[in-house]
Amino acid sequence: MALQLWETLKEAITAYTGLSPTTFFTVLALFFAIYYLVSGLFGSSDNHPRPRSFEEQLEPLPPPVQVGEITEEALKAYDGSDPKKPLLMAIKGQIYDVSQSRMFYGPGGPYALFAGKDASRALAKMSFEDKDLTGDISGLGPFEIEALQDWEYKFMSKYVKVGTVTQTVPVTDGESTGEPAESTDRDAPKPDEGGPSESAAVKNDETRSSTVSDKDCRDILLAANEEREQRTRPRVPFPFPRLLGANHLPAFSDN
C-alpha cells in the first residue's frame, strides 16, 4: 500500500513540475534552509521593540487618590493633559476616577471633552456642545433624566468615587452690601399723623358691620319666636253650632 502511494506521488511530481522526485525534494530542502537563514539574520518579529504607549498601557494603574471637595475650575486640571495626574470626571456633582478608561476619556478619545468636567447635562442629552458641558440638569425631560440615571449607575459600578464638586452659591445684593433686611421696613411709607390711619378706618367699618348684623339677627329671632307661639297657641271653637244645631242658626235678611 505504501509503495503504491510513493509511486503515485513520484508520477504526480514528474507530471506537474517536470522534475524528477530527487530534484524536486532537493530544491524544496534548499528553500527551507534559505528561509531559516534569512529569518535568523534579521531576527524574529517578537523581539521588535514595542511602542511606549503600549508599554504604558501594560503598566498597573496607581490606586485612586481622594481629592475631596474641589471646585469646577480645579477639576479642569484632571482632564488628562498631565499624564502624572489621574483622569477625573464628574456626574451629578460626584467625581470619579476614569483613568482605567483613558482610551475613551483621555486625549484623543471619543469622550475626551467630558474629562475634567461635570458633564451631567451633556450625558443626559448625549450632546457634545460646549453649552451642555455643565452640571446643571434643570429643565431636562423624563427620558433625559432616565438616561442620566443609567450613566450614573454605570459610573458607580465601574469607577471609584474620589470626591465631590463644590456647589457655588451666588451672592445676592443684600448680602454683598452687608445691610440688614430691616432697612426695607424703615424705608416703607408711614401713615399721615394728622389724619386717621387706614387701619383705624378699616376697624370702624368692621365694628359697624358687626353691629348691624347683630341687630338683624335679633329681629329675625324675635319674628321666629312669635311665629312659633302663634302656631302652638290652641284655637277656641265657636260654640253656637254645637249648642243650637245647624237648623237653629239665626236668619239674616238683606233688609
The better pLDDT of the pair 54, 160 is held by 160
- Range among 101-105, 183-187, 230-234 rated most confident: 101-105
Within 10 A of 121 (CB to CB), how many other CB atoms are there? 21
**Residue 177 in this model has a pLDDT that exceeds 50:** no
Does the pLDDT value for residue 243 go beyond 50? no
Spatial distance between the Cα atoms of 89 and 100, rounded to a whole number of angstroms: 12
pLDDT value at residue 199: 53
What's the whole-number mean pLDDT along residues 173-183?
44
Tell whether the torsion through CA atoms of 122, 126, 128 and 130 is positive or negative. Answer: negative
Counting Cβ atoms within 10 Å, is residue 68 exposed (0-12), middle (13-18) or buried (19+)?
A: exposed
Q: Kindly tell me the burial class for residue 80, based on how many C-beta atoms sit within 10 Å of its own C-beta (0-12, 13-18, 19 or more).
A: buried
What pLDDT shows up at residue 124?
93
pLDDT band of residue 116 (cuts 50, 70, 90) is very high
* Contact between residue 97 and residue 160 where contact means Cβ atoms under 8 Å apart: yes
Identity at 248, one-letter amino acid code: H
Check residues 117 and 19 and name the one with the higher pLDDT. Answer: 117
Q: What is the dihedral of CA 218, 219, 224, 226, to 10 degrees?
A: 110
The residue type of 79 is D
Domains of the chain: 2-34 (no CATH), 64-165 (3.10.120.10)
| pLDDT attached to residue 5 | 74
Q: Could you tell me the pTM of the whole model?
A: 0.47
β-pairing, 68-70 with 160-165?
Answer: parallel
